[in-house]
Amino acid sequence: MPLLSVLIFFPVLGGLSLLFLERKTETVRLVALVISLLELLFALPIFFFFDKSTHLVQFKEYHSWIDALNIHYFLGIDGISVLFVLLTALITVLCVMVSWEAIQDKAKEFYIALLVLEGAMMGVFCALDFFLFYVFWEAMLIPMFLIIGIWGGPNRIYATIKFFLYTLVGSLLMLVGIILLYLKGGHTFDVLVLAGQNFDYKLQLLVFWLFFAAFAVKVPMWPVHTWLPDAHTEAPAAGSVILAGVLIKMGAYGFLRFSLPILPEATMAMLGPMLALSVIAIVYGAFVCLGQSDLKRLIAYSSVSHMGFVTLGLFALNQQGLEGSILQMVNHGLVTGALFLAIGIIYERTHTREISAYGGLATTMPVFASFFMLFTLAAIGLPGTCGFIGEWLILLGAFQARPLVAVLAATGLILGAWYMLWLYQRVFFMEVGEKVKKLPPLCVREILTLTPMVLLILWIGIYPDVFLDFLRASVSHLIAQVQNTGVAEVGLHAPVSFP
């Protein structure tokens, strides 16, 4: 069974099938939910049957496509991409559920865009042909553009155009880099073949920065991060969850999949600047959070800070740092996605995102306050939650690579606790605001939307080995590729295990 093709094209075809339904919102929602649940069901065999003992690509599909240019339909996943495929399937189900009441206008078109976006995101994580990867990478822009531009807030046009221009310019520069590798690498777009080439150092350096233009924007790294707060603030709840949960992970995934193995010498040369940019993002994003009065904007800037930890672990370039970086991408998708889900739920009731309009929610909505407290504690890395595991591994790897960088980055943890706990105090424990005096409690659908996030946050926080085992073989192989030596010769510390 071509499982990866099913994961890519089933939601696309399912979304297009909504065109043939009547414009009854309830029917459209129900069909969209069934399609997304079936997609999650199709993804589950990957979790159970993935061979964690090898770095080799699994579930491969390889077919000729455009023979004249040596382009192939080449799909496969390894330990670096497997968790993102599963995360994408889960996040889409929750986006359908959180949009149940929030999207009333053009509901059919909204769910079509959401399901097509899911297929494109699956394609990005599965593609092993550069041309095919680029097709999926650009295809994501269209439905996300529509989701923000049509169903977003009052300043949605500005946010949409900014998001589109930033990502399009970066993508076009990446295309130039892909073409250079194609011409210098034996006229092939095969990612695995290109990873085995020994490119000239100057070419590597040029392509590294061309790729950086696309991947840094998508992360987003400082200083090309300014599109993210606007996009998050104006996007509907589902759009914010998709952005935080999956889309911004694709920049770091691009570094892992392409920059590190294909451009190892340039990567080693650029470790210093990349670590410096990561620390700036961590500290800058945290400080900016302290000055925010908008709920979504605060969480958006916190993403800049948290993704700084991801790139810090990535360019620490050791086992702990890379494992922590990949796991933290998943953690961030869960925690920040959960926070945006929660903000979307409360926004449906109050129609305001101003922090000052709240206060006393712990009294009027105690169950909601409990959910939000857990998500807040996970965001600040409390032991027992997933956030602690990822950040601890990243800082451990950073200390091994550059102790001073790790110390500076650790200040972001202190600032993170400051702005998140202060946010919680203002929203839940201050004097009860007028808008929150008579709010209805969470309904069953909303509880079911938030519960999977709670379970995964605690599961990873208590027993992370289930997820780290997916990563170890592929991470070890990746470090060996970058350092141009056999795995046995790389000076790695033993992978960290948790009881």
Spatial contact of 200 and 303, defined as CB atoms under 8 Å apart: no
Q: Can you tell me the distance from the alpha carbon of 368 to that of 373, in angstroms, rounded to the nearest whole number? A: 9
In the DSSP assignment, the letter for residue 385 is S
- pLDDT tens column, 437-461: 788 888 898 899 999 999 999 999 9
CB atoms within 10 A of CB 432: 15
Q: What is the pLDDT of residue 233?
A: 86
217 pLDDT higher than 70: yes
Q: What is the pLDDT of residue 499?
A: 27
Q: To the nearest 10°, the Cα dihedral for 170, 172, 173, 176? A: 160
In the DSSP assignment, the letter for residue 354 is B
Q: To the nearest 10°, the Cα dihedral for 101, 105, 108, 112? A: -90
- pLDDT tens column, 112-145: 999 999 999 999 999 999 999 999 999 998 999 9
Q: What is the pLDDT of residue 433?
A: 67
> What is the dihedral sign for C-alpha 402, 408, 411, 416?
negative
Taking alpha carbons only, the member of 277, 106, 265, 134 closest to residue 198 is: 265
Taking alpha carbons only, the member of 349, 338, 345 closest to residue 444 is: 345
Taking alpha carbons only, the member of 424, 420, 406, 375 closest to residue 282 is: 406
Q: What is the pLDDT of residue 497?
A: 35
What are 400's two structure tokens?
Answer: 């091994």
74 to each of 190, 191, 257, 382, how far by Cα in Å?
A: 8, 9, 14, 41
3-state secondary structure of 59: strand
Across 257-267, average pLDDT: 90
- SS3 percent helix, strand, coil of the chain, rounded to 5, is 75, 5, 20
In our burial notation (b when 16+ CB lie closer than 10 A, e otherwise), range 357-369 reads bbbbbbebbeebb
| DSSP output for 130-142 | HHHHHHHHHHTHH
195 pLDDT higher than 80: yes
Mean pLDDT over the full length of the chain = 88
Q: What is the pLDDT of residue 222?
A: 87
Q: What is the pLDDT of residue 498?
A: 31
Confidence at 470, pLDDT banded by 50, 70, 90:
very high
pTM: 0.89
409 to each of 168, 279, 332, 416, 455, how far by Cα in Å?
A: 30, 5, 17, 11, 28
